[in-house]
Amino acid sequence: MDTTLPIVWFLLIAVLWTGYFVLEGFDFGVGMLLPILAKDERERRVMINTIGPVWDGNEVWLLTAGGATFAAFPEWYATMFSGLYLPLFLILIALILRGVAFEYRHQKHGMGWKRGWDNLITGSSFVASLVLGVAFANFVRGLPIDGARTIHQTAGSLFGLFTPFALLGGVLFVVLFLTHGAAFIALKTDGEIRARARRFASRTGAVAILAMLAFVLWMNLSFSGLARGVAGASPALSLWPAAALAVLGLVVLWLANSRGREGWAFVGGAVSILAMLVNIFAALFPNVMPSTLDPAWSLTAATAASSTYTLKIMTVAAVVITPFVLLYQAWTYWVFRKRLTVRDIPLEAPAPVAEPRHVAG
Domains of the chain: 4-327 (1.20.1630.10)
The pLDDT, as a whole number, for residue 348 is: 61
Categorise residue 260: left if φ over 0, alpha if ψ from -120 to 50, beta otherwise: left
pLDDT per 10-residue tile (average), the chain, 361 residues: 83 93 92 92 88 84 89 88 84 92 84 88 95 92 71 56 91 97 93 92 95 96 90 88 96 95 95 96 92 85 89 90 85 82 65 47 45
DSSP 8-state code for residue 296: G
pLDDT at 150: 41
pLDDT digits (tens, 9 = 90+) for 187-230: 999 889 999 999 999 999 999 999 999 999 999 999 998 988 88
Asked, as a colleague might, if the bond just before 286 is cis with ω within 30 of 0, I would say yes
Tell me how far apart the alpha carbons of residues 55 and 66 are, in angstroms, rounded to a whole number: 18
Q: What's the confidence (pLDDT) of residue 322?
A: 84
Host H or E run for residue 173:
helix 164-188
Coil, helix or strand for 289?
strand
Q: For position 291, what pLDDT does the model report?
A: 87
The radius of gyration computed from the CA coordinates of the chain, to the nearest angstrom, equals 22
